[in-house]
Amino acid sequence: MREIYLDNSATTRVLREAADAAYSAMTESYGNPSSLHKKGIEAENIMNSARREVADALGIDPAGLYFTSGGTEANNLAVIGGALAKKRRGNRVVVSAYEHDSVMKSAKFLEENGFEVTYIRPDENGVITPEAIFAAVDEKTVLVSVMTVNNEVGAINPVAKLAAAAKRKNPEVLFHTDAVQAFCKLPLRGEKLGVDMITVTAHKIGGPKGVGALWIKKGVRVIARNLGGEQEKQIRSGTEALPLIAAFGVAAKISCTALPEFEHRMEELEHRLISGIEHEHGVVLNSKPNALPAIVNISVLGIRSEIMLHYLEERGIFVSSGSACAKGEKSHVLRAMGYPPERVDSALRISFGRENTPQDVDELLEAIKSAQKELCR
């Protein structure tokens, strides 16, 4: 049976070149980057090269890029570490109501430790507006976190305008954006966004799981969550995962170089899918216009998500019901967007990657038609 993988927002197949870089770092350049001898210096050079490649892809200064174990750790460090570092200035934090769980639970942690958290719902177009940010921020607000692209519906937030609105209201506020779903999928020049911290990760762009990064603007202070050695300027102590970092650098360079072609292909696939479901009774589009083409969220009304997932899986088609990190929990994203329970309970996220083809979309549409005939009786 042919496999059709349409869950690329959960993770991607590792690029061969990235896997080769990881293998080389494990078997040849295997020194500890902190060691002072030749093997250590060789490893450190590989790590610094990867840091430059990720930084170049993101459009930021590599000196402010810190490697982590992934997007979750980077978000925890930014939100909790950033807020705690500014605690003397205030105790308020603002986040969007449809952030990734790693931001939502960081906000919850802060609430349990004396902070007030304001959650901003997206507007009718599925985005967070500058007006909403401006209204929410006050003199006691120390941090704002809004994702660049929503991981479930693909909504693209105007991050530069949001950061400007927040800092116009309170110049001292820190602004963090989770750019995990935007990195190498949208043209990003991080230092022009006007933000203080940016989260990215490797496994959404053809790199391995287990490595991500947080960019911190020069002069911004965060309180470290990992305590230990001198690695990553003590922002993230612990021996660096050199094989994963090396692979991350290669994946970032290849994926961001191929971005124009990727964007064009994703637009074609999105158009094909949306055109197909427009003619299907009982299938509705949850993603809003102008969303990231690589993410399309739909609901097949009358069929619960988990039933539809298994039906498609039996036919070699792999999609998700939302964020993989939620492990099947009902989407807080769709609820924040105001969708009724019947749409939330039947939601599917289709996310395209570099290997997907128009034939994949056609076979998905046929499978949805079959499911409606067989399961909606």
Beta bridge partners of 199: 178, 214
For 113, other C-beta atoms within 10 Å of its C-beta total 12
Burial 303-337 (b: 16+ CB within 10 A, else e): bebeebbebbeebebbbbbbbeebeeeebbbbbbb
Distance CA 296, CA 349 (A): 6
Is 136 strand, coil or helix? helix
**Angle ∠(348,328,156) on CA atoms, nearest 5:** 50
CB 107 within 8 A of CB 95: yes
Distance CA 144, CA 35 (A): 38
Catalytic residue among 184, 256, 325, 376: 325
Distance CA 251, CA 230 (A): 27
Whether 256 is a known active-site residue: answer no
By annotation, the residues acting in catalysis are 325
